[in-house]
Structure 1
Amino acid sequence: MSQTRTDAASADSGRRLYVVLTRTGTGVARVIRILTRKPYSHASISMDSSLQQLFSFCRNDPRFPLPASFNEEIVGEGVFGRFSHIPCEIYEIPITEEQYETFHSHLTHFKNFRRLYSYSLSGLVSVPLQIRRKLRYKFVCSQFVAYMLQECNVTLEKPASLYSPEDLRHLPTAKLIYRGELNEYYADLLQRQHSYDWMHSTV
């Protein structure tokens, strides 16, 4: 499978956020793709290009669609661990230190008050129909990602409640840095990190 990688900008030490769009083989994901006719059905967000910590609204138990809520996702585990073939796109968004701190503060809130939040079943209807809703305690994955970007003043083209995974592919300030297999991206990062550690351990 062809892959495209664009090296992330490294000329400065600015902060970055990473939007990760994926396509798994779950029944729900297949239905979403059939209905939307778009390549990706799930969205996550990370503060690190290594994707060691991904955050989204998704199933609590990888075996069952519900219950679902705010969760940390780990590449190779949970739903991501059920499938060896996970096409993805990764987008990098440059942010300021102030935006980074705001994002981190909101993320900490979601972690600390996770039990207040749940997956928005109505969002599965309102997003495709572009029905605007107030986001408070219920989100679908793409609404959550857009909401987090909105709260730290990343430019959006419409309200966060209207964002689908497809819409996240067209964020004004986002840069595509990878298209291909999620597991291969992660394995490549680990291999490069191990090589880096080995070279420095022999100095």
Structure 2
Amino acid sequence: MEKEIYILLTNTGTLLARSIQLCTGEKFCHVSIAFDQELKEVYSFGRKDQANPWIGGFVREDVRGPIFHNSPCRIYKLKVEEQAYASIREQIEFFMNESDKYRYNFLGIFAVWFGIQWQRRNYYFCSQFVNSILQNANVFVVNKFPELTTPADFMEARLELLYQGSLSSYIGALHRARQGKQFRTA
């Protein structure tokens, strides 16, 4: 039996996001993995402290919070086998339990820019993390080493586009759907 996970691409417009966008030339500079279409359970590597972009690591993201408000986004649906889904869940649980060990891989971002595969123990950037989690579960949607993966690579992968637009509009549409009004995706 297949299960669904979701890949969320965003651009929050923060200083770090604008810097990454300037270097890559890509619209989306952040990627997260979610277990539900409502985006209540979303994980990635990003800010641990909303006021300080330099304190980063493994995070459960609040896409309804101020950092993501009105971010342009793309949401993809990915069907995976039950065993892969269980592996992804297990890995996320491990990261949650050991979250104090992990840091954001700022230096890894520069290595990617220069095409250098540099794996640092307990350091990840967002796209490295998501691709690593998927590949460790034998789900290969981006055929690159995790250390060389960018958010744009997920746009080129064979994923089902569920939605494209403003994240706040998507969340608003979910809210209206819960109230019995029609919900439209991509």
Fold shared by both chains (TM-score > 0.5): yes
Gaps of 5+ in 1: 1-12, 197-203
Query: 1:53, 1:178 → 2: CA distance?
Result: 17
Residue deviations 1:42-67, cap 9 Å, x none?
11110111111110111111121121
Query: 1:129, 1:16 → 2: CA distance?
Result: 34
- Percent of matched pairs sharing the same residue: 32
Q: Summarize the alignment of residues 1-203 of structure 1 with structure 2, pairs less than 5 Å apart.
A: 14-80=2-68, 83=69, 85-134=70-119, 136-155=121-140, 156-172=142-158, 174-195=159-180
- Give the C-alpha shift of residue 124 in structure 1: 1.4
Q: Secondary structure at the match of 2:54?
A: strand
- Give the C-alpha shift of residue 195 in structure 1: 2.1
Residue deviations 1:95-147, cap 9 Å, x none?
01100111111010000000110001111111222211235410011111111
Q: Secondary structure at the match of 1:195?
A: coil
Equivalent residue letter for 1:178: Y
Aligned Cα root-mean-square deviation (Å): 1.5
Q: What TM-score, normalized to structure 2?
A: 0.91
Query: 1:67, 1:86 → 2: CA distance?
Result: 21
Larger Rg: 1
Query: 2:3, 2:66 → 1: CA distance?
Result: 28
Q: What TM-score, normalized to structure 1?
A: 0.84
Kept in 2: contact 1:135–1:161 (CA 8 A): no
